[in-house]
Chain A
Amino acid sequence: MREEMVVASSLSVTFEQHKVLDGVSFKVGEGEVFALLGGNGAGKSTALKSFLGTVTPSGGSASVMGLSVASQIDVIRQKVAYLPESVMLYGHLTGVENIEYFLSLAGITSAKDKIESALKRVALQQDAWYRSLSNYSKGMRQKTAIALALLREAPVLFLDEPTSGLDPSAIDEFNQLITTLASEGSTIFMVSHDVYGACQIAHRIGLLDKGKIVGMFEREGDNPIDTEAVHASFSKRNG
């Protein structure tokens, strides 16, 4: 088992002289669900994008599966799935067509029934599968993108605010899904500002504030991380 699937070491990112990430370090092991928690503008999405090569660090380094983001990003991108913070797909295509298109971009041809079962798994209502995506709600787009991420069958998943836009029952289903994926060996790096939700599924939580890790919480045994403890620490800084 590889312990260091996602590694940040002294990672710093600067946008126009503004230090958004300031020497962030952490490691995520295989089969682990790691959540980076923080308020708006804490630098969560920036941290996540540092592993996808869409943000260039000003210091430190990032690696995925032992591959350096700086030098081997093309290889990394074939091994990860990405759920963007705000899911935008092609409005002129149906849900299924969107998935087919993005999969073929990755060089994957998936059978229709495989796509349909993924859509069933994320509980996208069946009558929408072959309807134009321009009529989808935010939650429906979110589910489509999660299905796409599943179909990539990637060893590492990067999820940016995965439950935003989902209704409570869909959130439960999603949490179930993540737990199953992790137990099957997938590594999950997610970013969220939802303390409760993160505590439900994460094995570990890093608390990010103004570009710095200010706290680490770890699950003990099978019990979820103590929401109260995280919340106390979280609201102290965002209060």
Chain B
Amino acid sequence: MISFSDLKREAAFLSKQRYVVFFLLVALALSIFSVWSGVAETRAQIDTIERLLEKDAIDREDALSKQSDYGSAAYYSFHLTYSEPSPMAFAAMGQRDIYPWKHRVRMLAIEGQIYETDADNPELSFLGRFDFAFLISVLLPLFVILLLHDLRSSEREAGRFDLLIVTAKEEKQLWLSRALTMSLALALVLLIPFLIGVLVTGASATEIGLMLLVVLGHLGLWTIITLFIGNPKRSSSQSSARIASRLLAVWLLFTVLIPVGSDTVINELVESPSGGEIVLTQREAVNDAWDVPFSETWRAFLATHPEWESKTSMNSQFEWKWYYAFQQVGDQKAAELSHGYREATQQKDTVASIVALFSPPMLTQRLMSSIAGTNISSSLAYEQRVRDYHASLRSFYYPLLFNDGEFSHQALSGMPIFGESQANEAESSD
């Protein structure tokens, strides 16, 4: 229906409208800035991880060289865990700002270590940082509204309307080709910096394809909304300002009221322990353990690790195997809270994903951070990797601690490293 020559005509026409060109340049600048800051931020995170990894190995070497028993070796060595940003993360920094993405963990009770940097209960943030996803989900609708709300009404107000529609081969074709040209121009200025960004970070073709689909889908939707509300049959006597304020009300509803309102309601309705509570519960359990009879600690420990039943006899008031046993028990006591916390987070996220079906900007933002691997599920998955890794540390150390063998540095060389196949080891222990 709309031919290439229609688009060419409108593109030439549009390029001569100074305010439109200026406006597109502003959109381009914003897109460049969002992509640049996202790429810079993920680069900095990758650099940090690399730097810490180097330091981590050296520090651990150093700490281990000074030890002469397995208990203090475990006590004094730290292990870096991290979640590296995906090549697409720059486009939607999402939850990466709110959830911690790196930890230094020890063989001590783990739950407290995971949540101590995270004492506040993270909210489902939407109007967060200025990244590409924010540009697309929140600002793109405004751009479309600004460019297209007065598509017809401006011509009416300028007194050109009748001449235009009498002259055009088909009235619909005229407005559609104008709207399409503006939308395509907007897509171009928003997507070019993004495409340069993915070239730099090397995201996969599938991720790029999905992102483009989401961006173009959101753009298309707002183009349709704007054209519908500015429709001549509905608004022949309506001024551009009237149409614009109507559209802004729709934008406000979708972009602010629904996300912020649902966020408040969800946090009110879904009961969730806080990270701080988990840290406290676990810490108290560990501190109390010093005063609790050995037998009580062992009973709780053996309930989950019966394989060490025959190795619990103690020759002194302090033995490392008992120390790590009550660390483990501390985790067991916090397990319910920690589980509840994760359940609640997941539940809030599920409710939010349903609410998002009624708010295109929210849906767009969620889809983008899902493709970028920066959503809540990714954060929870990272936490789980930390737990699994910690479990693999335990299954590495427990035989050394319980079997009372001679200390040798050689035996420590098989220590699991985060990110290196700890998954199967973890399965066999926890």
- Residues of A whose CB lies within 8 Å of any CB of B are 49, 52-54, 74, 77-78, 80, 82, 84, 86-90, 92-93, 97, 101-102, 104-107, 145, 152
Contact = CB atoms under 8 A, between A and B. Distances in A.
A74 B169 CA distance: 7
Interface residues of B, number: 19
A217 to B, nearest CB: 28
22 contacts: A49-B162, A53-B166, A54-B162, A54-B166, A74-B169, A74-B170, A77-B168, A77-B169, A78-B169, A82-B163, A82-B167, A88-B160, A89-B160, A90-B160, A92-B16, A92-B17, A102-B164, A104-B9, A105-B9, A105-B164, A105-B174, A145-B163
B13 interface: yes
Nearest to B162: A54
B196 interface: no
A92 B170 CA distance: 24
Contacts of A78: 169
A96 B159 CA distance: 19
Contacts of B164: 102, 105
Nearest to B3: A107
Given A84-B159, A88-B160, A77 B9 contact: no
A102 B16 contact: no
A102 B167 contact: yes
B269 interface: no
Given A101-B9, A104-B9, A105-B9, A88 B163 contact: yes
Given A88-B163, A92-B16, A105-B164, 4 more contacts: A74-B170, A77-B169, A88-B160, A102-B167
B115 to A, nearest CB: 60
B166 A52 contact: yes
B169 A107 contact: yes
A105 B169 contact: yes
A89 B17 CA distance: 13
Contacts of A52: 162, 166
Given A105-B9, A105-B174, A88 B168 contact: no
A111 to B, nearest CB: 16
B18 A92 contact: yes
Contacts of B165: 54, 77
Given A92-B17, A105-B9, A80 B166 contact: yes
The 10 closest A-B pairs by CB, nearest first: A88-B159, A82-B166, A105-B168, A88-B160, A104-B9, A54-B162, A52-B166, A107-B169, A105-B167, A84-B163
Interface in B360-379: none
B1 interface: no
Contacts of B205: none
A88 B13 contact: no
Interface string B1-35: 00001000100010011100000000000000000
A86 B159 contact: yes
Given A92-B18, A104-B9, A105-B9, A84 B170 contact: no
B314 interface: no
B158 interface: yes
Report which residue of A54, A87, A97, A104 has the largest number of chain B beta carbons within 10 angstroms of its beta carbon.
A104
A107 B9 CA distance: 10
B162 A82 contact: yes
Contact of A88 (B18, B158, B166): B158
Contacts of A97: 16
A99 B167 CA distance: 11
Nearest to B173: A105
Given A92-B17, A93-B16, A101-B13, A106 B168 contact: yes
A133 B303 CA distance: 89
B294 to A, nearest CB: 88
Nearest to A83: B163
A87 B17 CA distance: 20
Contacts of A92: 16-18
Contacts of A106: 167-169
Report which residue of A54, A93, A107 has the largest number of chain B beta carbons within 10 angstroms of its beta carbon.
A107
Contacts of A88: 158-160, 163
A105 B178 CA distance: 11
Nearest to A77: B166
Nearest to B12: A101
A54 B168 CA distance: 13
A102 B9 contact: no
Contacts of B13: 93, 101
Contacts of B174: 105
B38 to A, nearest CB: 36
Contacts of B18: 92
A80 B169 CA distance: 11
Interface string B245-258: 00000000000000
A106 B9 CA distance: 11
A80 B16 CA distance: 28
Contacts of A80: 166
A155 B18 CA distance: 37
A159 to B, nearest CB: 12
B370 to A, nearest CB: 43
B169 A102 contact: no
Nearest to B158: A88
Contacts of A101: 9, 13
B338 to A, nearest CB: 64
A105 B13 CA distance: 11
A106 to B, nearest CB: 5
A78 B163 CA distance: 13
Contacts of A102: 163-164, 167
Nearest to A158: B166
Nearest to B157: A88
B162 A84 contact: yes
Contacts of B169: 74, 77-78, 105-107
A196 B45 CA distance: 83
Interface string B204-237: 0000000000000000000000000000000000
A107 to B, nearest CB: 5
A89 B158 CA distance: 8
A107 B177 CA distance: 13
A43 B103 CA distance: 81
